[in-house]
Structure 1
Amino acid sequence: MLHGCVVKVGLDLDMFVGSAMVDMYAKNGGLEEAIKVFDCTPNQNAVVYGAMIAGFARLGNDPCPEIRIEAVRLFSDLLRMGVKLSRFTFKSVLEVCNLTNAVHCGRLIHAHVIFNGFQDDEFIANALINLYSQARSVSDSLRCFQMTPRQDVVTWTSMITAFVHDENFEKALGLFLEFLSVGKEPDQFTLSSVMNACAALSLPATCKQIHCYTVKSGLAQFTVCGNSQISMYRNIGDVEASKKTFELITCLDIFSWSAMILSYAVHGHEGEALVLLEKMKDCGVVINDNALLAVLIACSQQGLAEEGFRHYESMLSDYGCSPNTKHKACVVDLLGRVGKISEAEDFIMGSGSENDPILWHALLRACRIHGDKERGIKTGEKLMELEPFAVTSYVVLYNLYMGAGKISLAMKTRGLMRERGMSKEAGISWFMPD
């Protein structure tokens, strides 16, 4: 309606009004409308371009990457125009790079950030930390963090999360302690990342300390903290604590339900997991692929082959979810647990993911459990073909050959390991004698 009024009074061609309308549509999810207004705005300047680039960054994960990368083209146009860019525009285009996983492009933009003297901006730093975290270059993330003079809670949280994504969980906890020591106060996202680190390390005492801190700080009320807390207690095997956390969350979301179903599934409470799925349906919650993965794990744990297949086959038709590799691996595991190894192999060959090693690893586990040596060897050879530089593939195949009495093939496999400079990592133990 407002746009209509603008057209009637003849201000639709005004550059400043056009910029505001681009921003208005972009903030409200109207990407197509924002693009049309942008295209119709004459004498476009850096402000109009900046509003359009920000529009692509604000739209979450809705548009496909091919559409969103248009923001980078607009940024390139600005560079060719030779106009001075704002911090806001740099922040927006870096966020687009993060959303589209355009890491190389983000590195090039980082160079322009330095050239324009914006490397000390905390908002740009947050985007750069996230960018390098996605690229598994946590050292670059840390360098950006250390070069930021004004480190706010978002900057610290971004760096803690980067360590978690890189599986440097001890460093994530160490940085959190440093964060507290300088007098900073965390938010719900900081504590969520710290809980994820504690969960991965399986430290019961530390998990409980973080839980207490969350309650004392008043952040336990946030759903994001509750969801991470469910997963944290699941990892240390405390299903009852996961259940209590779930029941205390006042605003359950899809991740809350999925996390609780998975907690039940992996700790032998398969019946409760399936009951919770039905309750989830009764509450009108839209079921996503994570919830269905948890259900498939529950069916696999309990050996419910028919029910598991029913849920798998209904993913696309009933819930609009396309099965990914993890769902397919669950089906292979499900069939393997009930001894249907031949059917599991046929499923892999017809799954469209027959070159994904995760599925073959699931089949190999079934072969070893049920003593199917010939199919196990065949699977091991397939894995070595798919993962020619994975040490575990060679070690597994060597053991399979030895178990089947095929000594010459076992020695040949070990010879290949030596030729390719591979060696089995020495085992370690954390057992401490009294």
Structure 2
Amino acid sequence: MLQHAWRSGYLVNVLQTSIDNKDYIAGKLLHAHILRLGLSSHTLLLNRLMELYSKCGHIQPARHLFDQMLQPNIYSWHSLLTAYCKQPQLDNAHKLFLNMPERNTVSWNTLISAFARKTPTRALELYSQMNAHGFSPTHITFASVLSACAGLGEMDCGRVSHASAVKCGLNKNVYVGNALLSLYVKCGCPRDALIAFRELDEPNEVSFTAMMCGLVETDQVEEAFEMFRLIQRSGIRIDSISLSSVLRVCAKGGGSSFGWNGETDRDLPNTQGKQVHGFTIKLGFEGDLHVCNSLLDMYAKNGDMESAELLFGNLSETSTVSWNVMISGFGQNRDKQRAMEYMERMRALGVEPDEVTYINMLAACVKSGDVENGRLIFDSMACPSLISWNAILSGYSQNEEHLEALKLFREMQFQNQQPDRTTLAIILSSCSEIGFVECGVQVHATSFKCVCPGDIYIASGLIGMYLKCGRIEAAVHIFDGLTQADIVCWNALITGLSYNSLDKEAFTYFQRMLQIGMLPNEFSFATTLSCCTKLSSLSQGRQVHDLIIKDGYANDVVVGSTLIDMYSKCGDVDGARVQFDMMPYKNTITWNEMINGYAQNGRGDEAIFLYEDMIYSEGKPDAVTFIAALTACSHSGLVDLGLKIFNSMQQQYGLNPLADHYTCIIDCLGRAARFSEIEELVDKMPCKNDSLVWEVLLSSCRIHGNVILARRAAEELIRLNPKNSAPYVLLANMYTSLGRWDDTKEIRAAMLERQVTKDPGFSWG
């Protein structure tokens, strides 16, 4: 008997060594030895053998052994349950669980944890059953359940579980606390995450890392940096995961210097990232591939490809991820050529590109505007994923090749590739741009199969498409059918109604939005102000202005520029100037609106003073700036200044004058009867096929009686549109006013010969 016990004890120890080493062959030999010794009924030995088989990933021998056991105990059942859960064969695990003669908290926790990782909904169901059977949850139960809630985004269920953990006194347990952090972070509740973090008695590196990730996901970059500083001060071991997380923060940008190297200059490019890089070397992580890939990603996302290349060149080991990060980085920086070079180098070194490589290369082509090469890469993919389809479709749409996008979408359907909400949004945008409502209707029908009915992301695209195509009733019907429209849907409706000149209706929907408590954003205000402008309703515009101040959008450059435009076009140019002077930041559009406001309200001198202020303050004038300035010169008789500004376009700013600029300067010179200078301009202007230029010239010639140049302008207009009666009539009237009756007859004869009929006049009387 003693010898029997000694042998079994010895075999248990040997089996433990095999388990630790995952030595399957040794286990098989020991199994045979146990059978020869007649120890096949020894439960402890068989449990150890089952553990060995499951550790080595051989579930069938473990199950066979279990089925042969004469007296399996709770440990036997748990051993096989754990093996099924690790595989994971969850259906088999659940069947075994249901057949267990005896269950305890460990049994429930093992199954709940496994389902939490793979099927969170089932994990929550099991948790409910565990409570119903009267088992008390442990810290492992709560950690698994909270993880399941985080995966499903089940905030309400998570809060209930949090309350239960508090009741059981387990909320301060580090595992439960970390699961709570993850839940609140993933559900976008940073304040709750911070409370859970502060409740932890001994937060570990997982706690700090989860908190840091949560802060960066909600764009609280400075707070995320502060969390990393706190890790250092707390003396907690900084591992590769913590470093990779803080590098993600650095990739977001913002924040102040860590001050490790005495640097405090916030204007230094990528200061924080470089400091973390130095810190990784100090901690000995320069050889850690995961950290190095995070460093590459950080440099690439900050546009510092020079540092990324230097680091990449010094890596002792690279992976497909490393190459993909470099290709993606060059693509983000619109350097398609360098991205292509890295892909070729990758292949030359025997590293096989994966799907991510092709997607990154495809994105590089699309961002560079090279959709043709992007399509070649797409066509080279054996089985392109949905991400690849969306990337190439987006490329066509952004490059305004909308018909190509629609053709490819049809091909996508033929290949039975299911679109998602991103695909449908891209195609709806293309349908909107070319007014292809029939295709938009087909996409609408497809959306019922591919996404949930009432999906607000698709709804906003549909509303925009129908309104752009003039299908107002359809757009309103979709909007009214939404159970809960978001701000994007409201903006799409208001903008679309305004686009269709239904500005009163658009303003009414803006009021409805306010009534239900939906907060407008900068786009809502800008569109509504444009409605007020088109309605010439200064009183409504002022009411919207009051709301803008109340909601804190007064300093927004887009809203501010639209306010200036509204006040100017409603005749209150002084009110526009007050708004202009109050804006802390002004872009080119802001300056243009104010200059144009003065010009259109007959205050040319002030427009020019403001134009000169813009130049003096190093503003960058664009084509619109010069149209506004030249219009001001024309309306105020500032001819020489107008010529100076016109000539400066190309000489100082490298801008080629467009037809509108020639129209303005010709109008300016024509008002002053400086026709010799006009002739010089029209001889060398590239826009001889623009009718408006000749119409303005003909009008000036008629006022000042310049018959020769008037005849030339009329002939050009007739060349551009032989059936247009206006130039014939204007020239004939000019001859009549000068008493040149023969010339008048000649013009009328030409009209009869060419079968040009004068448009009938209309009386308002």
- Range into which the TM-score falls when normalised by the shorter chain: 0.7 to 0.9
Report how far residue 97 of structure 1 moved: 5.8
Show the 5 A alignment for 1:117-196.
117-118=447-448, 121-131=455-465, 137=469, 139-141=470-472, 143-148=474-479, 149-150=481-482, 151-181=485-515, 183-196=517-530
Tell me which amino acid in the other structure corresponds to 1:13. P
Question: Which of 1 and 2 has higher RCO (CA within 8 Å, sep 6+)?
Answer: 1
Q: What residue number does 1:299 align with?
A: 633
Distance 1:338 1:419, change over 3 A: closer
369-378 vs 249-258, which deviates more?
369-378
**Which ranges of structure 1 fall in alignment gaps of 5 or more residues?**
429-434
Tell me which amino acid in the other structure corresponds to 1:50. N
Tell me which amino acid in the other structure corresponds to 2:537. L
SS at match of 2:643: helix
Show the 5 A alignment for 1:262-301.
262-301=596-635
Distance 2:361 2:477 in 1: 35
Report how far residue 255 of structure 1 moved: 0.4
Tell me which amino acid in the other structure corresponds to 1:53. L
Report how far residue 174 of structure 1 moved: 4.1
Contact 2:467–2:475 (8 Å) recurs in 1: no
Determine if the alignment matches structure 1 residue 112 to structure 2 residue 442. yes
Report how far residue 222 of structure 1 moved: 1.6
216-225 vs 39-48, which deviates more?
39-48
Report how far residue 7 of structure 1 moved: 2.2
SS at match of 1:147: helix
Determine if the alignment matches structure 1 residue 7 to structure 2 residue 320. yes
Distance 2:513 2:728 in 1: 44
Report how far residue 398 of structure 1 moved: 6.8
Structure 2 residue aligned with 1:86, among 420, 442, 449? 420
Query: For 1:173-222, what per-residue CA distance to the aligned partner results, in whole angstroms no more than 9, with x for missing partners?
Result: 34434544555432221221222222233233233223223223333232
298-307 vs 366-375, which deviates more?
366-375
Q: What residue number does 1:234 align with?
A: 568
Distance 1:10 1:329, change over 3 A: closer
Distance 2:504 2:746 in 1: 42
Contact 1:19–1:51 (8 Å) recurs in 2: no
Q: What residue number does 1:217 align with?
A: 551
Q: What residue number does 2:190 align with?
A: none
Distance 2:727 2:506 in 1: 31
Distance 1:310 1:330 in 2: 13
Distance 1:420 1:265 in 2: 37
Contact 2:431–2:440 (8 Å) recurs in 1: no
370-379 vs 224-233, which deviates more?
370-379
Structure 2 residue aligned with 1:250, among 578, 584, 587? 584
SS at match of 2:689: coil
Query: For 1:41-98, what per-residue CA distance to the aligned partner results, in whole angstroms no more than 9, with x for missing partners?
Result: 55212232124434666x6xxxx546x8765564344233232211211212333566
Contact 1:333–1:366 (8 Å) recurs in 2: yes
Structure 2 residue aligned with 1:75, among 389, 396, 409? 409
247-256 vs 71-80, which deviates more?
71-80
Query: For 1:97-125, what per-residue CA distance to the aligned partner results, in whole angstroms no more than 9, with x for missing partners?
Result: 66xx4x15x44541431331358554445
Q: What residue number does 1:200 align with?
A: 534
Query: For 1:16-49, what per-residue CA distance to the aligned partner results, in whole angstroms no more than 9, with x for missing partners?
Result: x34774698699x566699497577552122321
Report how far residue 421 of structure 1 moved: 9.4
Distance 1:146 1:321 in 2: 46
Distance 1:107 1:310 in 2: 48
**Which ranges of structure 2 fall in alignment gaps of 5 or more residues?**
1-295, 301-311, 313-317, 325-351
Report how far residue 324 of structure 1 moved: 2.0
SS at match of 1:117: helix
Distance 1:31 1:181, change over 3 A: same
Distance 1:364 1:146 in 2: 50
Name the TM-score, length of structure 1 as normaliser: 0.77
Distance 1:8 1:381, change over 3 A: closer
Distance 1:164 1:404 in 2: 48
Distance 1:9 1:283, change over 3 A: closer
Q: What residue number does 1:49 align with?
A: 389
Contact 2:440–2:465 (8 Å) recurs in 1: no
Distance 1:378 1:403, change over 3 A: farther
Report how far residue 309 of structure 1 moved: 2.5
Distance 1:369 1:183, change over 3 A: farther
Distance 1:320 1:404 in 2: 44
Q: What residue number does 1:432 align with?
A: none
Distance 2:727 2:463 in 1: 35
Contact 1:341–1:363 (8 Å) recurs in 2: no
Determine if the alignment matches structure 1 residue 427 to structure 2 residue 757. no
242-251 vs 266-275, which deviates more?
266-275
Contact 1:341–1:366 (8 Å) recurs in 2: no
How many percent of aligned residue pairs carry the same amino acid? 25
Report how far residue 284 of structure 1 moved: 3.0
SS at match of 2:447: coil
Distance 1:303 1:52, change over 3 A: same
Distance 1:10 1:316, change over 3 A: closer
333-342 vs 1-10, which deviates more?
1-10
Tell me which amino acid in the other structure corresponds to 1:273. A
Report how far residue 231 of structure 1 moved: 1.0
Distance 1:238 1:418, change over 3 A: farther
Contact 2:494–2:506 (8 Å) recurs in 1: yes
384-393 vs 161-170, which deviates more?
384-393
Distance 2:515 2:321 in 1: 59
175-184 vs 254-263, which deviates more?
175-184
Determine if the alignment matches structure 1 residue 339 to structure 2 residue 339. no
Report how far residue 387 of structure 1 moved: 4.9
Query: For 1:206-252, what per-residue CA distance to the aligned partner results, in whole angstroms no more than 9, with x for missing partners?
Result: 33223223223333232111101111111122221111111111221
Distance 2:439 2:648 in 1: 44
Q: What residue number does 2:693 align with?
A: 359
Contact 1:394–1:417 (8 Å) recurs in 2: no
Report how far residue 383 of structure 1 moved: 4.0
Contact 2:444–2:462 (8 Å) recurs in 1: no
Distance 1:249 1:160, change over 3 A: same
Name the TM-score, length of structure 2 as normaliser: 0.47
Distance 2:497 2:723 in 1: 26
3-12 vs 72-81, which deviates more?
3-12
Distance 1:6 1:73, change over 3 A: farther
Report how far residue 392 of structure 1 moved: 6.2
Distance 1:421 1:302 in 2: 34
Report how far residue 10 of structure 1 moved: 8.5
Contact 1:391–1:424 (8 Å) recurs in 2: no
Structural RMSD (CA): 4.1
Tell me which amino acid in the other structure corresponds to 1:44. P
Distance 1:74 1:133 in 2: 24
Distance 1:323 1:343 in 2: 16
Distance 1:424 1:399 in 2: 15
Tell me which amino acid in the other structure corresponds to 2:443. V
Structure 2 residue aligned with 1:95, among 426, 429, 433? 429
Report how far residue 142 of structure 1 moved: 5.0
Contact 2:751–2:757 (8 Å) recurs in 1: no
